[in-house]
Each structure stands twice: as C-alpha cells, then as structure tokens.
Structure 1
Amino acid sequence: MRITTAAPLGIADTESLVATARRAAEAAGATVSVTVLDAGGHLLAFRRDDRAVLISGETSTRKAYTALQLNAPTADLVDAVQPGGPFHTLPTALDRPLLFIAGGLPIHRDGRLIGAIGVGGGAPEQDHALATAAVEALA
C-alpha cells in the first residue's frame, strides 16, 4: 500500500488565494472579507476590505470552516440544512458554528483536502464566484 501525500498550503498559495479573490472582488465592485484555513482548520490568512461590513469577517471564516469540515462547497449544502434535510440540526449541534451560505470552498491538491477558503460580504452567489476564482487560479 502506497500512501500519497499532498503538499500543504504554503505562504505563496495563501497569498495567491487572497490576491486573486481580492482582484476578482474589485473587478466586481464588491467589498468582502477572505479567510484561508489549512487542513486542520487553522487560520492562514484573513483580509477584510476597508469598506466591507464588519460581519463579513465572521461569515468568511465560518464559510471556510464549514467547507473544510464537510469537504464540500457551502453552496452545495444550503438545501441540506433546510427543514427535513439530512443536516437540518447540524448548524446548532456543534460548539464551533457552521454557516451554510454560499461562499466557502474546500481546497484540494492531488486529490487531498489541504484547506479551505471563505468569502463573505457580497451576495452569496457573488461570494461563491470569488472563492471559485481564487481556487481555480491556484490549480
């Protein structure tokens, strides 16, 4: 049995993710916060635009954490927490709060989960697009 490892997110990766999300947000006229977490859920980078609403910092972090813990884009999980959904009680079941709003994406390298990015402050679809642009540029 061969165990494969993937390089963790490094500082160059982290800077690229934040810079790409920032440029995409500026091009879209959005003011957002961006959070990058490593595979263990530890903060690697955080950036809030000067004019972004203050809560965007919290939402970007929670989106990244949710995407990391469930290894799925938060946009794909919105229906799962609705009444009758398989994760209906999950948002209140854990000590660390999850956030099921589009804008969080897991980050993979060589098929392995190595971290997550969260964008908050714009409309959910816009946050998702900004996070997607950052992850796609990293590949």
Structure 2
Amino acid sequence: MSETITLETAKQLIDAAERKAEEIGVPSVITVANPDGNMIAQHRMDDAWLASVNISRNKAYTSAALEMPTHELAEPSQPGNSLYGLQTTDDSRIVIFGGGFPLERDGEIVGTIASSGGQVDEDMTVARAGINQFQTLTH
C-alpha cells in the first residue's frame, strides 16, 4: 500500500489554506486526497460556490491521477495540442486549470491538495498555503 497523509495532517493543511483564503478574501473549497485521488478531507468555507465542491475534488483527483499540478495541463490541452480534449476523459473528472497539486515526501506522492473558489491564480495561492504547511510538517 502506498504511503499517504493522515486525516490529522489533511486538516492542518486545510486550516493553513483556509487562513490564506480568508486573507485574500476568497471563500474556497479545499480538498486533500490520497495518492489514488480519493478524498481524505474537504472543507467548504462559508459563501464558497457550490460548484467549487466538485471542482476542488476533481482538481485533487487530477493531480493524483496524472501526478502533476493541474495548471501544467492548461497549455497541452488547448486546441491543436497533444492533450486536446483531455478534460472530457475519465468521466470528465480531469481539470485542466490551476489549483491542484501533488504532495510529495521523499520523492513519492503521498497525497494532493486542491482549492476552488476564485480565479485560477487565487486557487493556486490558497492551495500553495497548504503545501507550505505540508513542507513545514515534513521537515
């Protein structure tokens, strides 16, 4: 079985991401998933969009399924590029814009974190606050 982060760690990452979302004024949905893309924890801030629940979950899933940050899929999935149409695959769970990131320990993905609720750069900022917390906890 793959190593994965615990629920307690997931909650700490979500707390850090929520603090950043509050700081920048973007109600968000933050999801932490295991290396298989299955949700460990999800938190919906007050006034966060309902659509962000599934978008955040799918960003976390995408980051696990493809072992990469979701923003790296934006360019290759544009019309005429090699991954065009990628977002329509895997039961349309693949997200091709930023906000989902793998969490790595010793070069191995042990989970993912994702945020949805704002512009792409805001979602990435919120999720990166969770990544920073993860790095603090693991070093």
Tell me whether 1:110 sits opposite 2:106 in the alignment. yes
Structure 1 residues not aligned, in runs of 5+: none
Q: d(CA) in 2 for partners of 1:31 and 1:123?
A: 11
Letter matched to residue 82 of structure 1: Q
Alpha-carbon offset, residue 96 of structure 1: 5.0
Q: Corresponding residue for 1:32?
A: 28
Q: TM-score, normalised by structure 1?
A: 0.90
Helix, strand or coil at the partner of 2:91: coil
Q: d(CA) in 2 for partners of 1:6 and 1:99?
A: 24
Give the alignment of 1:90-109 within 5 angstroms.
Answer: 90-95=86-91, 97-109=93-105
Q: Can you list the C-alpha shifts for 1:8-66, whole angstroms capped at 9, x where unaligned?
A: 20122101110000000011111000111001221100111120111011111111111
Give the alignment of 1:79-90 within 5 angstroms.
Answer: 79-90=75-86
Two-structure CA RMSD over aligned residues (Å): 1.5
Aligned residues between the structures: 135
Q: d(CA) in 2 for partners of 1:13 and 1:87?
A: 34
Tell me whether 1:126 sits opposite 2:119 in the alignment. no
Letter matched to residue 118 of structure 2: G
Q: Corresponding residue for 1:63?
A: 59
Q: TM-score, normalised by structure 2?
A: 0.90
Structure 2 residues not aligned, in runs of 5+: none
Q: Does the 8 Å CA contact 1:7/1:109 hold for their aligned counterparts?
A: no
Q: Corresponding residue for 2:43?
A: 47
Q: d(CA) in 2 for partners of 1:93 and 1:44?
A: 23
Q: d(CA) in 2 for partners of 1:96 and 1:123?
A: 21
Helix, strand or coil at the partner of 2:110: strand
